Structure 1
Amino acid sequence: MIQADLWPFLPESEVDLRGVVALLCGSAAAAVLVLRWVGQRRIQEKMEQARRTRDLSLERMEKVARRFKQQNPGIQAGHILSLPLVELAEKLKEGSLSPESVLYTYIDQALEVTREVNCVTDFMQSCEEQLREVQRQKERGLLYGVPVTLFPTPPKGHVSTGGLVQFLGRVEEEDSVIVQVLKRQGAIPFVKTNVPQSMINYDCSNLIFGQTVNPLNHKKSPGGSSGGEGALIAGGGSVLGFGTDVAGSIRLPSSFCGLCGLKPTNNRLRYAPKDVDSLALCMRALLCEDMFRLDPTVPPVPFNEEVYSSSAPLRIGYYDGDGYFQPSPSMRRAVWETKKLLQEAGHTLSFYYLKMLKCWLGSGTLQLDWPDCLLSPLPPSKGDIVDPNLKSQINCYRLPILVKKILALILKPVVSHLYVYPLRTLIAMGDAQASTGWEEFIAKWRQLELDVMLCPALGPAFNKAATSYTNLYNVLNFPAGVVPVTIGTEADEEELKNYRGHYGDPWDKRLREVTMGLPVAVQCVALSWQEELCLRFMKEVETLARKRKRNMGPDDDDDDDDANDLHL
């Protein structure tokens, strides 16, 4: 008001100057808006072009599959798709199945699956050239003629976006090491699958290729970050998929989609097929001289067949909760039912009390790296738009550290640590406590003289949840795999109505999700570099769970009274 009253008495030159300043400010603001609009439009155009390219890829898939079916009308596609990897590889190697029939059958099936759940983002037409190369090989590798799917490292000539627009133009100039080794073992990479934006999310959505849904229930996520792989394999469109696992990116999709998946010790391999023998075959194929020569970071330690084939009783630790995220009724039941089966089979089991918060949230290294990994490729500094599924996570990570600490202190008396999880994720307590947590975990393991660990795998197919059950073993750098052992039941659903979590806060209430009929897995863990022992344990669990399923009648009670008698 005072400024307005003085305006008529200012010198004419100053009045003119104010007008110029106002005009410049307005012009600058308009210019910023125009530039922002232009930038957004360019991003939209790049995404539209990527979708057109993807659609052309799918059209090529349809064309080659149709051509093969027309030329080979007698192919028994159902039989080929029903074979587990080990049996499929045997039939290919002995010649009772041709690589052509297997490849084009899987191309056709992958196309059908992606029409249903939107999981394939790129068809590698070079697979036909690789098919011819495989047939010229004098020695047939362990994966001779096996079609495989990939994320996030496609072959030469293809793009790995991580769900981000800025990477759309970055074409791979050479095959990655794992692709080279796969090809030398006779495998045929044929499609690339969808991922969440930035790949640090257990959902599977990005603004380029859209949302991938779970083939078992379209209202559910297939998990992430390798959700496209999990959805494709669960739908029968692939028999073996490869990816990464920073905090559960292989294990979560495997759990949500009813598959077996393995996260080895760092620098050993990550992949997901349908059964444990397939995992073992893949380890045999990839832990070879070619791998050790091409990638010096992989220790030159071949697959130990003696450990995997052993039948000696195991000493197994177990827990059904980590003290951080209360397991769903079906998660808890899966552990106790598996524990009972293992005891009946002659193994020794010991309860392992897990002090999760100190061991996991005290891990400064991984937690402090997460925000940088997630934020570095995203706006405002880069040419992308944040996917709506990531916005709340991103907004929290962008808060200044002081604000996060203040909010965490304010919210702590009101809601549980789960609800302030994104804040606490960024307020890690340092490497010293991470090291202490690791030492305590190992000391307890040694005290109980354990071989392996049985624990929950997150599931079934949560849309909103915490990744603590998988993340722990990334921090500890232990090999960990998941094995489906049961499905959600009416009893689980009924018990879920009373689910409060540890604190009954708003976060816990979001976790009351439908579980009926969805697969439920357990997690199997071994110490670092003991992948063969981890796989041997996974095989034992898989065998016992399958035997139990065969022996159960349709009216048998799926509940385990022992589990209900204990409250840990």
Structure 2
Amino acid sequence: MTWQQLAADKKKAQLDGVPKEWLLDEANLPTQNDVSSFPQSSALLSALDLEITQSSITVLLENLASAKWSSLQVTTSFLKRAMLAQQLTNCLTEIFVDRALARAKELDEHLKRTGSVVGPLHGLPVSLKDQMAIKGVDNTIGYIAWIGKPAAENGAIVDILEELGAVLYVKTNVPQTLVWLETFNHIFGRALNPHNRTLTTGGSSGGEGALIALHGSPLGVGSDIAGSIRLPAAFCGTYGFRPSYHRIPTRGGAGSLKGQDSVSSVVGPLSNSLDGLTIFVKAVLSKRPWLKDPLIIRKSWDEDGYNLVEHGGPNAKLCYAILWDDGFVRPDPTVHRGLEITKKALEAAGHEVIDWKPLKHAQLGLTTAKIFAAGSEEDVAAVAALSGEPIIGSMDPEADIWQKRKLMGGPLSAYQLWQLQKTKRELREEYLDHWTQTVKETSTGRPVDAIISPVAPYVAPPHGKSWNLFYAIWCNTLDYPSVVVPVGAKVDPVLDAKQPRTEFHSDLDKQNYDRYDPALYENAPLSIQVVARTMEDEALLAMTKIVDDALRAAAR
């Protein structure tokens, strides 16, 4: 059988197990680009379905634990909304309705029989990026060669989620190989941004971004090696968390670049509320994940960190620094406005905001890109050869996708790779010192508490036009945890008008400026990321809550 037929058969089978009454006829689906509010008016969802799927995780968990809502009801509501999201944005890969409903019934019976929940995520539907391994379910990551080869056992994060009481029900779309800033593959096709379906969801957790944005999932699990959680979260207007290396288990999942351990991929959550991220991290760490994955450090939830003990305490005045420009590519006016909104909100809340002086950001990005390129071409070619499918060379729907993929680097000798890894270590040391020295610039007596940065120099761009990973990958290189926060605004063609410029950092900076037109980004959400130092994950979540609360207060 040809690779094309294998892909077509897999895609055709995708919705076979879904009740037909959960699917809309094509005539009843919207034709407009912005489908973000379509579920609220769809006849598919009842008033109770809407109430459930638009509730925060905190409310969901409270109502599940009290049996106000059964897990069967909550799971059914999210399944219906996820099926709608799939038809609107092509955000899903695997769908396992019967398995999810059976699990939900078991949890309801347990609660009724014992009067207690299985764990802190009891009855909560949780979606998973396609690469997460669920026993008996494919995890192709867009490779045709891996169709029909279901996982032999759960990945560590899946075991933990089930121990916590979660209900797993869908997996979400990714790019072929995972290593892309866009979500498209030969099997499931392209994921679309619900705010404007001509725009990208980002990658590689792009399906999660779209599903969460449409409230088809209350909590999703993605992964991030160069922005793969944060770009979809930012482009789709959700929250997303890139934790530090070795906090959340990755064991057992599919992926590319395995064996490349210099810049580790991390697993983290996406949600429509910040409390969803915090609940996820706290719950996973409660299960001592270091007993399931040998790479996880033995570090429980740090309550002192969350109470900001090293940052003056929970009620202290904090100092945030804003990275306005990384010195390589200046962000578009849309992105700049999101930073300005955040600055004003924090100052109104009584916090100090200063400018962050970037240090070697282009070198940070290029060093990691070259580490990836050292073996990535051989890595992905070996898998693609098993089916004969071509490696996608461009995510642009108007370009030749069979062209050779462009990499920032190429194969290296072991010694050459060691030199790059040595450079990366030296850059981490320099940046640590750079951050420590900011104590001279703050009024708090401490170095800067957290950095606020763009996630990309643009908001969600048209399909195939996302090219810059430098505002995301510096956090991966330095192992800085980062949380994406929606600012609460969208692109405005008047407020975000193009500004004249005559000086540019680089040719790429000028190219980015020349292509800017706010009309291209219609309805795209504005987002920022909050960044802390290595292993300050809990403190970062607390400092991000301060940012989020300030933004919400300013919007009222």
Normalised to the residue count of structure 2, the TM-score between the two structures is 0.80
- Aligned position for 1:509: 514
1:24-39 residue pairs with structure 2 within 5 A?
A: none
The 8 Å contact of residues 182 and 201 in structure 2, kept in 1 or not, is answered as: yes
Shift of 1:375: 4.7
The 8 Å contact of residues 392 and 405 in structure 2, kept in 1 or not, is answered as: no
Q: Distance in 2 between matches of 1:392 and 1:51?
A: 21
**CA gap 1:436/1:142 in 2 versus in 1, 3 angstroms:** same
1:459-474 residue pairs with structure 2 within 5 A?
A: 459-463=458-462, 464=465, 465-474=467-476
1:116 equivalenced with 2:121 (yes/no): no
1:148 equivalenced with 2:126 (yes/no): yes
Alignment partner for residue 451 of structure 1, among 449, 452, 456?
Answer: 449
Q: Distance in 1 between matches of 2:276 and 2:60?
A: 10
- Aligned position for 1:56: 16
The 8 Å contact of residues 479 and 534 in structure 1, kept in 2 or not, is answered as: yes
- Aligned position for 1:38: none
* SS of corresponding position for 1:171: coil
Q: For each residue in 1:419-441, what CA deviation from the matched residue of structure 2 results, as whole angstroms up to 9, or x when unmatched?
A: xxxxxxx9997233322221221
| Number of residue-to-residue matches in the alignment | 478
Q: Distance in 2 between matches of 1:118 and 1:111?
A: 9
The 8 Å contact of residues 362 and 434 in structure 1, kept in 2 or not, is answered as: no
Q: For each residue in 1:465-508, what CA deviation from the matched residue of structure 2 results, as whole angstroms up to 9, or x when unmatched?
A: 30111100000111111101132223344226879964464454
- Aligned position for 1:432: 422
Q: For each residue in 1:499-527, what CA deviation from the matched residue of structure 2 results, as whole angstroms up to 9, or x when unmatched?
A: 99644644543454523432111110111
- Aligned position for 1:537: 543
- Aligned position for 2:252: none
The 8 Å contact of residues 500 and 508 in structure 1, kept in 2 or not, is answered as: no
- Aligned position for 1:420: none
Q: Distance in 2 between matches of 1:257 and 1:264?
A: 20
Shift of 1:324: 1.5
Q: Distance in 2 between matches of 1:180 and 1:437?
A: 36
Q: Distance in 1 between matches of 2:68 and 2:502?
A: 52
1:527 equivalenced with 2:533 (yes/no): yes
The 8 Å contact of residues 373 and 411 in structure 2, kept in 1 or not, is answered as: no
- C-alpha RMSD of the superposition: 2.8
Q: Distance in 2 between matches of 1:60 and 1:266?
A: 43
**CA gap 1:450/1:76 in 2 versus in 1, 3 angstroms:** same
Q: For each residue in 1:65-90, what CA deviation from the matched residue of structure 2 results, as whole angstroms up to 9, or x when unmatched?
A: xxxxxxxx987111111201111111
Q: For each residue in 1:198-224, what CA deviation from the matched residue of structure 2 results, as whole angstroms up to 9, or x when unmatched?
A: 111111111111111000101001111
Aligned residue type for 1:144: H
Normalised to the residue count of structure 1, the TM-score between the two structures is 0.78
Q: For each residue in 1:177-204, what CA deviation from the matched residue of structure 2 results, as whole angstroms up to 9, or x when unmatched?
A: 1111111111101001111111111111
The 8 Å contact of residues 204 and 228 in structure 2, kept in 1 or not, is answered as: yes
The 8 Å contact of residues 199 and 225 in structure 1, kept in 2 or not, is answered as: yes
**CA gap 1:356/1:427 in 2 versus in 1, 3 angstroms:** farther
Q: Distance in 2 between matches of 1:182 and 1:499?
A: 53
**Larger helix proportion of the pair:** 1
Q: Distance in 2 between matches of 1:61 and 1:483?
A: 36
1:261-340 residue pairs with structure 2 within 5 A?
A: 261-269=240-248, 270-309=268-307, 310-340=314-344
1:99 equivalenced with 2:71 (yes/no): yes
Q: Distance in 1 between matches of 2:496 and 2:272?
A: 26
Q: Distance in 1 between matches of 2:402 and 2:516?
A: 17
Q: Distance in 1 between matches of 2:354 and 2:15?
A: 53
- Aligned position for 2:553: 547
Q: Distance in 1 between matches of 2:479 and 2:270?
A: 18
The 8 Å contact of residues 315 and 348 in structure 1, kept in 2 or not, is answered as: yes
Q: Distance in 2 between matches of 1:429 and 1:302?
A: 34
Q: Distance in 2 between matches of 1:261 and 1:153?
A: 17
- Aligned position for 1:347: 351
* SS of corresponding position for 1:56: coil
The 8 Å contact of residues 220 and 270 in structure 2, kept in 1 or not, is answered as: yes
Task: State which drifts further: 290-299 or 327-336.
Answer: 290-299
Aligned residue type for 2:148: G
- Aligned position for 1:566: none
Q: Distance in 1 between matches of 2:17 and 2:364?
A: 42
**Which entry has the higher C-alpha Rg, 1 or 2?**
1
1:403-418 residue pairs with structure 2 within 5 A?
A: none
Task: State which drifts further: 252-261 or 152-161.
Answer: 152-161
**CA gap 1:500/1:235 in 2 versus in 1, 3 angstroms:** farther
* SS of corresponding position for 1:494: coil
- Aligned position for 2:104: 131
* SS of corresponding position for 1:189: strand
Q: Distance in 1 between matches of 2:343 and 2:404?
A: 39
Q: Gaps (5+ residues) in structure 2?
A: 24-44, 249-267, 308-313, 396-400, 439-446
Q: Distance in 1 between matches of 2:21 and 2:221?
A: 20
Q: Distance in 1 between matches of 2:502 and 2:9?
A: 46
* SS of corresponding position for 1:495: coil
**CA gap 1:359/1:179 in 2 versus in 1, 3 angstroms:** same
Q: Distance in 2 between matches of 1:126 and 1:539?
A: 36
Alignment partner for residue 483 of structure 1, among 485, 489, 493?
Answer: 485
Aligned residue type for 1:87: V
